[in-house]
Amino acid sequence: MDRRAYFDDLAARWDSFTDGAKVQGTLAGVVRGYGLRTDEHVVDLGCGTGNLTHVLCAALGDAARITAVDLAPAMITMAQRRLPDPRVRWLVADAASLPLPGRSVDRVICFSAWPHFPAPERVAKELGRVLRPGGQLHVLHIDGRDKINAIHTGVGGAIRHDLLPPAADMGHLLERAGYVVIEQIDTQDTYRVSGRWTA
């Protein structure tokens, strides 16, 4: 089973694995810390059933645009049903090849999805293509790296090798792709690496 089929199969059960209200509460705090302008175009990359999308809708104003992207159509269907907000454009797409114009995005937030990208360098460059100069990319997890990696290894199947690298390695990957690293946190409880697109 490939990752797309894996996540399609998981979509109907995904929300039963987490406490949605708690996740969204934590995300709201993180998003506040990112300092979004209310009129930004933000990409929620690997949106799943829309936990972060929901938080972004609450944080952003009427002039904002949110593009919620996921590889798995069933995830997008679930999220769309849950969140009928006209500011959100739902896209079934691969993070490595986005159907978005260059320099059209202010910010990309990739919440709990980065380890699933088989070619992360390609994704970092693709995000650089769609970001405006000065735009920001946030790779975000609200659990620690060891816990996340143990879950993926334990679950096995299509995601058994989907491991989050140490934040320092992620920072180097972003630098090689053309970002300046502005945040690098890798603790027992959280993982946050952010870069500013400079090219």
Ligand X SMILES: C[S@@+](CC[C@H](N)C(=O)[O-])C[C@H]1O[C@@H](n2cnc3c(N)ncnc32)[C@H](O)[C@@H]1O
The 10 Å CB-count burial string (b at 16+, else e) for 62-73 is eebbbbbbbbbe
Q: Is 72 in the site for ligand X (CB under 6 A)?
A: yes
Q: Is 71 in the site for ligand X (CB under 6 A)?
A: yes
Q: What angle do CA 70, 30, 60 make, to 5 degrees?
A: 70
Residue written as token pair 């002039």: 63
Question: Shortest distance, CB of residue 191 to ligand X, whole angstroms?
Answer: 13
Q: Which is nearer to ligand X, 6 or 87 (CB)?
A: 6
Stretch that binds ligand X, among 47-55, 59-67, 83-91, 132-140 (CB under 6 A): 47-55
Residue least distant from ligand X (Cβ)? 48
Stretch that binds ligand X, among 41-49, 101-109, 173-181, 186-194 (CB under 6 A): 41-49
Report the phi/psi class of residue 100: left, alpha or beta, with left for phi > 0 and alpha for psi in -120 to 50. Answer: beta
Which residue among 36, 42, 46, 83 contacts ligand X (CB under 6 A)?
46
Which residue among 51, 67, 136, 194 contacts ligand X (CB under 6 A)?
51
Structure token digits, residue 109? 């937030």
Structure token digits, residue 114? 């980065």
Question: Shortest distance, CB of residue 155 to ligand X, whole angstroms?
Answer: 10
Which residue among 3, 82, 87, 122 contacts ligand X (CB under 6 A)?
3
Q: Which is nearer to ligand X, 164 or 167 (CB)?
A: 164
User: Up-side HSE of residue 180: CA atoms within 13 Å toward CB?
Assistant: 7
Q: Which is nearer to ligand X, 3 or 65 (CB)?
A: 3
| Surface-to-core class of residue 91, CB atoms within 10 Å of its CB (0-12 exposed, 13-18 middle, 19+ buried) | middle
- The 81-110 contact track toward ligand X, x by CB under 6 A, reads -------------xx---------------
Query: Which helix (H) or strand (E) covers residue 57, if one does?
Result: helix 51-59
Give yes or no for a contact between 111 and 49, defined as CB atoms under 8 angstroms apart.
no
- Interface residues with ligand X (CB under 6 A) are 3, 7, 46-49, 51-52, 69-72, 75, 94-95, 111-113, 116-117
